[in-house]
Each structure stands twice: as structure tokens, then as C-alpha cells.
Structure 1
Amino acid sequence: MKEINILTVGTHPQILTTILRLLNNKPGWQATGANSLAEVLRLDEDHKFDVVLIGGGINEADTSEIKKAFNEIPVVLHYGGGSGLLYAEVYQALNIIPEQ
């Protein structure tokens, strides 16, 4: 299976750390965190991502810029709900049926 590269964006350090830990614990998933639009745009130049998760603290204008920068991949708004929802959002965005 191809490794899934996920960019997670959020301004709350503790929440971002938790989301990254959860995502990186999934076999075959590699998550990278960013806490600002500037960091997202820098990472866009250096990495190839399969999906972008936008979390709390990112305003509408920055969300719009992120969607423009990553116009060819899914961009998901994630504002909590537990690990099950987090995983389901990634699976749905990438049209993947999770293994049981």
C-alpha cells in the first residue's frame, strides 16, 4: 500500500500535537503539522501531500488560500470529534475503504 501523506493545519499546539500523534500511529500514514498559512505554503513547496486537514484557529481567508494552494487534493475541515471521526475524514477524502 502507498504511504498516505497528510498535512494538518491548526493554531492550537496541544491539539495539533494530539492529531499528529493519532495520524502517525496509523500504519502507512505520515502526518506533518503546520500552524500558519506561511508554514503551509512553505511545506507545499517541499512535500507532496495526499490530503490536507484544516483544524481550529484557521480563519476563512487562510482556509481559502490553503484550498487554492492545494486545489488538486482534498482539503478537509476538521474541528474535533475524536479519533474515529478523524480517521473517517481521511478515508472519505481519499475514497479509501478501511481494512477491518
Structure 2
Amino acid sequence: MQTTILYIGRDTEITTVMNRLLNARPEWKGICVCTDDEAISVCKEQQIDLVLLGNGIDAECEKVLRTKLTEIRPELKIIQHYGGGSGLLYGEIMTALSQDF
């Protein structure tokens, strides 16, 4: 069974890299967007297991996003991802998926 991960970031180049990294693992399905509206739309249309908040999302936007996304899916796990190598990304995701929020 695939884990669907939604990445939200403001930098299109980093978002492209994240898309490649997330979709390189057969057990993950990565969906990467750059706007809040896209993220909300994806969350409404698909079953998302984890949301990664990437670079460029300020504190106010993060608060609003968390509220809107958890209104749609209360069980949704949302974590911040600020970069690092693919090993760090893997560790962050696996830790988040194993924890109860």
C-alpha cells in the first residue's frame, strides 16, 4: 500500500526536487504543490497520509493551512520539512508516520 505525501512549498525548483525524491520510492506517492489553494484542493480530492510544509511558508500561512487541512481531514499528520538530504527526508517521514499526533 502506498503512502500519499503532500508537499507544500513556495520555491518551484525545490518543489520539483521534492517531487522527484518522494516519487522515487515505490511505497510513496508524492504530490507537490506551491500554493495553498492547490494544497486544499488536493486534500479534498485525495486521501493524504502526511503533509510536509516546505520552505517559504510563513508562520501565519502555516497556521491557516494547518487549520484548513485538518478541517478537511482531522486525522492528517502535518510536519515541517526545511530541507536536507534524502536520508533526512526519509527519517522525518518514517518518524511522522509512526507517531500518533
Band the TM-score falls in, shorter-chain normalisation: 0.7 to 0.9
3-state DSSP class of the match of 2:98? coil
- Choose between structure 1 and 2: higher helix proportion: 2
**Identity percentage of aligned residues:** 34
Query: Hey, which bits of structure 1, 4+ residues long, moved more than 3 A?
Result: none
Name stretches of at least 5 consecutive residues in structure 1 with no aligned partner: none
1:1-100 matches, within 5 Å, as 2-68=1-67, 69-70=69-70, 71-95=74-98
3-state DSSP class of the match of 2:21? helix
Between stretches 12-21 and 69-78, larger displacement belongs to 69-78
Deviation per CA, 1:69-97, whole angstroms, max 9, x where unpaired? 1342211100111111111111011018x
Distance 1:85 1:63 in 2: 22
Name stretches of at least 5 consecutive residues in structure 2 with no aligned partner: none
Q: Count residues in correspondence.
A: 95
> Aligned-pair RMSD on alpha carbons?
1.3
Give the TM-score normalised by the residue count of structure 1: 0.88
Task: Give how far 1:65 is off.
Answer: 2.1
